[in-house]
Amino acid sequence: MKAITAVVAAITILAFGKTLAGQRSANFRLTVKGHLVPGDGGSSAGIALSFPYLCVAGQEKGLGIIDVSNPSKPTLAGTFNKGGWTRDVDLVGNLAYTAVSGQGLQIVDIANPASPVLLGSYGGPSYDSTGVQVVGQTAYLVNANGQALIPVDVSNAAKPVTGYPVLYGPNGSGNFNGILVQGGIYIPNDTGLAFSITPSLLTGVYWVDSLPSYDVAVNGSMAYLGRAGRWDIIDLSNPSQPRNVSKVPSGNVYSIHYVDDFVFTSHGGGLQVFDSSNPQRPRMVGQFVAPGIGQGGPSTRGTVKMIVRDNLIYLAEASCWGLWVLEFSAEIFQDGAFALWRPAEQGKRYILESKNNVNDCCWTTVATNTAQTESIKLTDSSANGSQRFYRMSTLP
């Protein structure tokens, strides 16, 4: 595949050549949109976004609250620390639910980020809490040392109470390192993945070696597990016999996201994007290397946790409240269809046009749509593998 890109005002013009039948060509371009220079913060362990605030669980330094209302200029708006190590965070509106080692669950009102307020808490010194996710009126709190998942009723933020049932890891699962509630329950741990397709029992375990796992993403019956030194694709269609589909060498994958057959992974030096449309052979199609990594520069702490939202990626540095905000765009060609994936302005209408020869007088409309989010993907379903030129622009 050969691509030629030129940008004129808001119009992008591209030319794509042929690909083999069944093959997918994809190209991701990642650019830095904003950067919060590290300050006196803690080592990042969790990250959550509820616009306009992004919260970072800063372990020994507590909770960092970053204003990302202007992604080009993220700013540290406030911090919160009542002792213990803040290991994870989830955000619902202006409420931050934090998993604090040595304390349990803390519920913090960040409406005024310069002066956060502790509304309520659950647990105590015996709670080695490492993960939390809120679904409805329930906060699922993970305890590492007891391999326990505790549902906490947070309908009254001032007085959280135990929900039921408390779930424990099956044989073969190590200390719990986080949680994903998405249909079922998925818990990366020190040996692999504990999971349940139904929210009643943690009956499943994926354990092919002794590598610890840090994060998990799920699409249907497929799980994508970030681990030490690699990430795995796992087929969970038979929950009693999870099957490894592929193992992808990488650095330590601390955060992993799945979006439209693409897997975003963050590691110590930045992030990588993989095309997983063929799960047996994922291919890297884009990457970002944080400046200074391994060069003695200011970013030698590396990068850890990540959130992908529309066409923006929020990538936390490993310490000191540092944050990279990246923007991505992509061109995808497969089986005679060509797609442009671009940042967009929500509510605006976009048009994709093509022509066979750059010297032709006229463009032909192949797709139009209104951006429902700050991202738009337009597809020409009849590209037919022959070279064409494309441009995307907004309509009045």
Please give the structure tokens belonging to residue 120: 């309520």
Residue 282 lies in a domain: no
Evaluate whether 109 touches 65 at the Cβ level (below 8 Å): no
214 phi, psi to nearest 5 deg:
-115, -25
Q: Are residues 268 and 375 in the same domain?
A: no
pLDDT < 70 regions, the chain: 1-23, 171-172, 198-201, 292-301, 384-387
Q: Are residues 14 and 87 in the same domain?
A: no
Note the pLDDT of residue 387.
67
According to DSSP, the residues that pair with 235 across neighbouring strands are 222, 243
Helix, strand, coil shares of the chain, percent, nearest 5, are: 0, 55, 45
Note the pLDDT of residue 170.
74
Residue 289 lies in a domain: no
Q: Are residues 38 and 92 in the same domain?
A: yes
Neighbour count for residue 29 (Cβ, 10 Å): 12
According to DSSP, the residues that pair with 38 across neighbouring strands are none
pTM equals 0.91
Q: How far is CA 72 from CA 36, 173, 321, 355, in A?
A: 9, 41, 16, 35
Spatial separation of the C-alpha atoms in residues 248 and 23, rounded to whole Å: 20
Evaluate whether 81 touches 45 at the Cβ level (below 8 Å): no
Radius of gyration of the chain (CA): 22
Residue 284 lies in a domain: no
Q: Are residues 232 and 115 in the same domain?
A: yes
Q: Are residues 243 and 346 in the same domain?
A: no
Q: What is the pLDDT of residues 327-377, one digit of tens each?
A: 999 999 887 788 999 999 999 999 999 888 878 888 989 999 999 999 999
Instruction: List all residues 6 or more positions away from 220 whose beta carbon is below 8 Å from its beta carbon.
Output: none
Q: Which amino acid is at 222?
A: M
Note the pLDDT of residue 386.
61
Residue 285 lies in a domain: no
Instruction: List all residues 6 or more positions away from 63 whose beta carbon is below 8 Å from its beta carbon.
Output: 55, 56, 57, 79, 80, 81, 86, 89, 96, 98, 108, 116
Q: Are residues 145 and 180 in the same domain?
A: yes
Note the pLDDT of residue 1.
30
Number of domains in the chain: 2
Residue 371 lies in a domain: yes
Q: Are residues 264 and 376 in the same domain?
A: no
Residue 294 lies in a domain: no
Q: Are residues 343 and 319 in the same domain?
A: no
Q: Are residues 100 and 62 in the same domain?
A: yes
Note the pLDDT of residue 90.
98
What is the extent of the structural domain holding 341? 3-22+335-394
Note the pLDDT of residue 40.
77
Residue 297 lies in a domain: no
Note the pLDDT of residue 57.
95
Closest C-alpha among 213, 214, 218 to residue 196: 218
Note the pLDDT of residue 321.
86
Q: Are residues 193 and 230 in the same domain?
A: yes
Note the pLDDT of residue 200.
60
Note the pLDDT of residue 263.
98
Residue 362 lies in a domain: yes
Q: Are residues 146 and 250 in the same domain?
A: yes
Q: Are residues 14 and 161 in the same domain?
A: no
CATH of the domain at 98: 2.130.10.10
102 phi, psi to nearest 5 deg:
90, 0
| Bond into 282 cis (ω within 30) | no
